[in-house]
Structure 1
């Protein structure tokens, strides 16, 4: 953590650097959503492969985050952050220049892998640079709101680039920003690493990565059949490996994910809400983009602009959310934030074949954004308050991993739901609308579950963060 000699301006420039790269990672999860129809027509891949353009990124991102967090802790957070950013640029360039669907999926996976090593280091820098007080709340509000708005910003930018240039620029645009981030990171970021033993938990890394990969793959296969041997086998294998990971982490001397990070109920609440927000955040945005283009027949630019109210309402909520944390603590907005979003997604579920954007889409998008604005501000602060610097990277990784894995698992499950409902509804636009409505209804239920989780696990006091404890200084250099 920067010491007393670190200037205030340098701290905020550090925050700007890691926040903008975090925005880059988040928006890359959705920037291709609006571009998918164009990319599919250009490269000729199937509808099943279309989903994997999104899932490959989210799955690689989420599955390797815990390992990325530990590598950042042990090797050095600045080194890992810069190396990940360089690989991210390479994957973006590869994806933008590819000429086959298989290569595009591989490039998206490489982007996700690189992001898995960047993200924990980025969040750890915020945690360690702003250890406590009002500045910490503001820093996490900025970091969280950019991350929360990233999905909608990605869709808007994807629409602009696809409409006026090519879907390929949805990936190529990352390269100059990554280069700028490399320069700023090299100049501004201090090196830090964990104290003490730095041995890796190989068994934990393998079971976690393979377990989540098998689970998401099985849920993806469920689009065709829930009862096939491959679907059931993959899901069961994933659950067994994840259970094995938990057992391993409780027994090994140097776990990849120390269970002490999960056992405090405030952190458990935060991680659970992160996962649930990921389910809706990724899935709802994918199907919103498809509805805008395939049902309302909007061109890519207008489809991207159609999601802009989400970002605007989220950013509008952030200043009020900061004041509410200072006055009432995080619990209240962790409850009413998801409930507001639930109302918004439920309104989206009322879409009809003959409906329009202004009456059936806009109100829901605005409410979803407002609720997310109140929710994301306290979320990372709760997840990382009081974390020992030895665990800063892996705790940051856990916070991000739960969101990304929630997104990849949620997208697979919601796609299976869409296929089942649309298949029963027949063919054509009416079937698509029925499927989208079912997805949005499920999203509203998930947001309600997030509010219930916060109500049950968070203590009703503004001291909830302080009760976790304050962090101590890490080793720099």
Structure 2
């Protein structure tokens, strides 16, 4: 991260904060806005059930895979410049998604949107830190930045359902055009460029990591459609493993890697990254498949489905805001265990819902547990992911937290699509079969969180890797 600059003048502080928070909010909203529109997207473009996961994964894989490279680009070329380029790519890709007339068109545009987010996201926090001095000014700015994540998830779900129900699922992406253009103009007027630093781009590492993870996810999704004996399935998984191995070899030998492997030498940090991947692997299944349950089994309209997520998003926001005080009293380790335990209980409870389930007794209560658990978990888990890093590695460690977040979700969704496909007889497409498939997915997601719970206790909370009671300035 570049060196802090002079504090922003008081008369421009609010516009600068508004630009940074609005851009981050746009990224967060576009992760969730697609969820409640998935059934309409499927019907409009003819996605198969397994293919539908790529609407999410095309975004998260490029976002996570290119995130560290995007952060390095900001250091070398200037944060303001890359912020504007990220806004341009993200906005243009959003318009392309809204215009999509085929599956390939939409998925390509979603991948480009993820690449734009990978350039934009690292610059938002870096610009915030460079424009606001340490102390009350930066604390206020960080609080607004963190709140955008909680508000954005809820806003995206509700807006996605509202647009899909009353206008079109495409409207949720077209709205990014005026917002993006306004942010670009405002950025050029109010935000100051950061100092540039000499350095090199780890292009080979970025390509191998992104393509390797994409190949693994493709192999899992392909297995759901064609089985494990399919040549393309096996080839994709093998290629993914080879590319990830090459990525590790590159990172060991290159002078300026996008992923310094020394970050994984700490038991606590390695545990935090692994727990985050396992947690997101289960959590993304909850978000992705619950919207299909609400609309395909309970027959809610998209707008109603968006509102139906409030029992998870509002407690998530509330518990996240309570984390600093709870961490001081109980320690971050206790919050990690409590958050994962609540998540396990909620997912297993939700897995009991069948075709005759009622929303208020079988869906809303477990949503409450899942929301509370996620709010308690992510902040302390972020603290563990950056614990004890040297100043020079602080940016890479923060980036790795986000990479684990995005790639864990992509791999988890690929695995859960496989569970979904095998949980009911082939050709069964009625609401009873859909409920059975989603029930199996929630059980599998709960198992991923059980593994995360065991990993957290072993590597983070136990005496040898205990997390000190501290709270990060910003949540991921």
TM-score of the superposed pair, with normalisation by structure 2: 0.88
Q: Structure 1, residues 127-146: CA drift from partner, whole Å, max 9, x if none?
A: 66789889878766654454
Q: Structure 1, residues 100-124: CA drift from partner, whole Å, max 9, x if none?
A: 3322222111111111111222244
Please identify, of 198-207 and 359-368, the stretch whose mean Cα deviation from structure 2 is larger.
198-207
1: CA distance, partners of 2:337 / 2:275:
10
Is 1:437 the counterpart of 2:439? The answer is yes
Distance 1:104 1:143, change over 3 A: same
Please identify, of 40-49 and 322-331, the stretch whose mean Cα deviation from structure 2 is larger.
40-49
2: CA distance, partners of 1:9 / 1:460:
44
Match of 1:473 in 2: none
2: CA distance, partners of 1:380 / 1:82:
27
Give how far 1:148 is off: 5.0
Choose from 333, 336, 340 the match for 2:335.
Answer: 333
Secondary structure of 2:124's aligned partner: helix
Match of 2:155 in 1: 153
Match of 2:23 in 1: 21
Match of 1:323 in 2: 325
2: CA distance, partners of 1:218 / 1:112:
20
Is 1:346 the counterpart of 2:352? The answer is no
Match of 1:247 in 2: 249
Is 1:168 the counterpart of 2:174? The answer is no
2: CA distance, partners of 1:145 / 1:226:
43
- What is the 5 A alignment of 1:414-453? 414-423=416-425, 426-453=428-455
1: CA distance, partners of 2:40 / 2:162:
13
* Cα pair 2:328 2:470 within 8 Å, conserved: no
* Cα pair 2:24 2:124 within 8 Å, conserved: yes
1: CA distance, partners of 2:20 / 2:459:
30
Distance 1:52 1:416, change over 3 A: same
Choose from 90, 97, 107 the match for 2:99.
Answer: 97
Match of 1:199 in 2: 200
- What is the 5 A alignment of 1:302-313? 302-313=304-315
Distance 1:39 1:275, change over 3 A: same
Is 1:216 the counterpart of 2:217? The answer is yes
* Cα pair 2:353 2:435 within 8 Å, conserved: yes
2: CA distance, partners of 1:384 / 1:190:
28
Give how far 1:362 is off: 0.2
Q: Structure 1, residues 275-302: CA drift from partner, whole Å, max 9, x if none?
A: 2232123221110000000100111110
* Cα pair 1:119 1:397 within 8 Å, conserved: no
Match of 1:257 in 2: 259
- What is the 5 A alignment of 1:357-372? 357-372=359-374
2: CA distance, partners of 1:162 / 1:321:
35
Choose from 409, 412, 415 the match for 1:413.
Answer: 415
* Cα pair 1:124 1:396 within 8 Å, conserved: no
1: CA distance, partners of 2:277 / 2:99:
33
Any unmatched runs of 5+ in structure 1?
471-477
Please identify, of 64-73 and 284-293, the stretch whose mean Cα deviation from structure 2 is larger.
64-73
Q: Structure 1, residues 423-457: CA drift from partner, whole Å, max 9, x if none?
A: 37955222211110111112222223333333333
Distance 1:408 1:168, change over 3 A: same
* Cα pair 1:77 1:121 within 8 Å, conserved: yes
Q: Structure 1, residues 223-265: CA drift from partner, whole Å, max 9, x if none?
A: 1212322112211221221122112211222212111333333
Please identify, of 77-86 and 408-417, the stretch whose mean Cα deviation from structure 2 is larger.
77-86
TM-score of the superposed pair, with normalisation by structure 1: 0.88
Choose from 56, 59, 84 the match for 1:54.
Answer: 56
Give how far 1:32 is off: 1.6
* Cα pair 1:141 1:376 within 8 Å, conserved: no
Match of 1:375 in 2: 377
Q: Size of the alignment, in residue pairs?
A: 466
1: CA distance, partners of 2:378 / 2:316:
9
Choose from 458, 461, 468 the match for 1:462.
Answer: 468
Distance 1:414 1:134, change over 3 A: farther
Match of 1:81 in 2: 83
* Cα pair 2:5 2:130 within 8 Å, conserved: no
Give how far 1:391 is off: 4.6
Give how far 1:350 is off: 0.8
